[in-house]
Amino acid sequence: MPEPDWVPMRAVDWSSWENQMQTPSLPQAVDAPDPVAIAAMEKHLQSLAALGMPPGEQGLWIQSGNEVLASHQGTVPISAASLTKIPTTLAALSVWGHEHHFETLVGMRGTLQPDGLLQGDLVVQGGGDPLLVWEEAIALGNALQEIGIREVTGDLLITGDFYMNFEADPAQSGEWLRQSFNADRWNGEARAQYARMPDDTPQPRIAIDGTVQVVSQRPNDVTPIIRHQSLSLTQILKAMNIFSNNFIADNLAGQMGGGRRVAQIAAEAAAVPLEEVQLINGSGLGEENRLSPRAVTAMLMALQIRLQAVDLTVADFFPVVGRERGTLGDRQLLPGSALKTGTLDRVSSLAGVVPTRDRPLVWFSLMDIGTADLGTLHRQQDQLLQALATAWGITPDVPAGLQPSDQLPGYQEELGNPARNEAL
């Protein structure tokens, strides 16, 4: 896949971090050791050792403002699991910007009769939208029906980077799209997702008489008729991180040039050494995806700096305790915390930002490597954060730096919005 044009975000100016940063240099070690953070770290490592998980395999970094409070193997690349989606998030925003929409173009090849009969083919050219699901496809079918199409005598031609329902196979995605356009052919899943849409949403009934054909390029004799825009990149990334969706992450990474290119972009954006960011994909599937705890924390803070310039925060891109469950489930974590989890057979990781009274924003990264019970590891991680909150105080209100923006509706409410379908 050709590498897209992109303009990398300039390296983070740490002095701009809420007026707390004193120098633009990347923290090298624990420069402001905090007894609370050190004690919590040591207890965590001791607990892991009791579970048969040697301290030499674990990684940890705790930072507030420009002060590194505690670190254990902080600059060593360690298997990160789905914390890999943090550099994917940063790289995607660096490449496309938070308002970017992926476009899917629909055209016709033939003649549209006054009675709604398209004598020819319907052509769909994908533009890399990783979150085109039933609701989106149903709305697209309604848009086609609104311009007069009722039946297609030919085939549904699929070209470009077209995916549906997190399926990489364009042929299967095309079959689902064909189903979406005709309510008489909906399966149970399509009907269930339609039931989540507004009550007045029409049910399209466009019959496609031919088959689904995947073609290498769009035919020359196609007349464009509909431009479909995806959800914004902000909403796509939020959905990706809430549910740790591997398809979206790997899809976006692929469009950016693959895991190594994502690592380059994210490392530059966060001003961290590239050797601390070793990626083979965008999702974190595979222990070969390795990040240092320092790099993870630096990327989160770089995201925050970038987002504040457009009145957003990391809470707009990661699950927040008390608001979204997703992979956070029933974990005992501080309300208002914006977090990302990661899980593989031998990896349990957690990173994000926690609000406390005495230290308003505490950034951290935990990478626990071993085969202990996952629930036990979650409790150990939660207890570490609870110890920090107990010592530094629980804030009654979430700080402004962790408040989500009201600029955009949640992605769930926006799925299937007909306003993103434009007749050409």
| pLDDT confidence band for 122 (50 / 70 / 90) | very high
| Mean pLDDT, rounded, for 302-321 | 94
| pLDDT confidence band for 404 (50 / 70 / 90) | confident
Helix/strand/coil (H/E/C) assignment for every residue in 353-364: EEECCCCCEEEE
> Domains of the chain by range and CATH?
14-99+235-412 (3.40.710.10), 103-230 (3.50.80.20)
pLDDT of residue 14: 29
pLDDT of residue 399: 85
Q: Which of 113, 114, 167, 117 is nearest to 137 (CA)?
A: 167
| Mean pLDDT, rounded, for 25-43 | 81
pLDDT of residue 408: 65
| Mean pLDDT, rounded, for 396-409 | 80
pLDDT of residue 30: 63
| Mean pLDDT, rounded, for 163-175 | 97
| Mean pLDDT, rounded, for 355-382 | 95
pLDDT per position as a tens digit, 241-297: 999 999 999 999 999 999 999 999 999 999 999 999 999 999 999 999 999 999 999
pLDDT of residue 28: 60
Is the pLDDT reported for residue 300 higher than 60?
yes
| pLDDT confidence band for 4 (50 / 70 / 90) | very low
Helix/strand/coil (H/E/C) assignment for every residue in the chain: CCCCCCCCCCCCCHHHCCCCCCCCCCCCCCCCCCHHHHHHHHHHHHHHHHCCCCHHHCEEEEEECCEEEEEECCCCCEECHHHHHHHHHHHHHHHHCCCCCCEEEEEEEEEECCCCEEEEEEEEEEECCCCCCHHHHHHHHHHHHHCCCCEECCCEEEEEECCECCECCHHHHHHHHHHHCEHHHCCHHHHHHHCCCCCCCCCCECEECCCEEECCCCCCCCEEEEEEECCCHHHHHHHHHHCCCHHHHHHHHHHHCCHHHHHHHHHHHHCCCHHHEECCCCCCCCCCCEECHHHHHHHHHHHHHHHHCCCCCHHHCCCECCCCCHHHCCCCCCCCCEEEEEEECCEEEEEEEEECCCCCEEEEEEEEECCCCHHHHHHHHHHHHHHHHHHHCCCCCCCHHHCCCCCCCCHHHHCCCHHHEEEC
Residue pair 311/331 in contact by the 8 Å Cβ criterion: no
Is the pLDDT reported for residue 152 higher than 90?
yes
- Length of the chain in terms of residues written: 424
Structure tokens of 422?
């434009």
Measured CA to CA, the distance from residue 77 to residue 100 in angstroms comes to 31
| pLDDT confidence band for 398 (50 / 70 / 90) | confident
pLDDT per position as a tens digit, 226-240: 999 999 999 999 999
Q: Rounded mean pLDDT of the chain?
A: 91
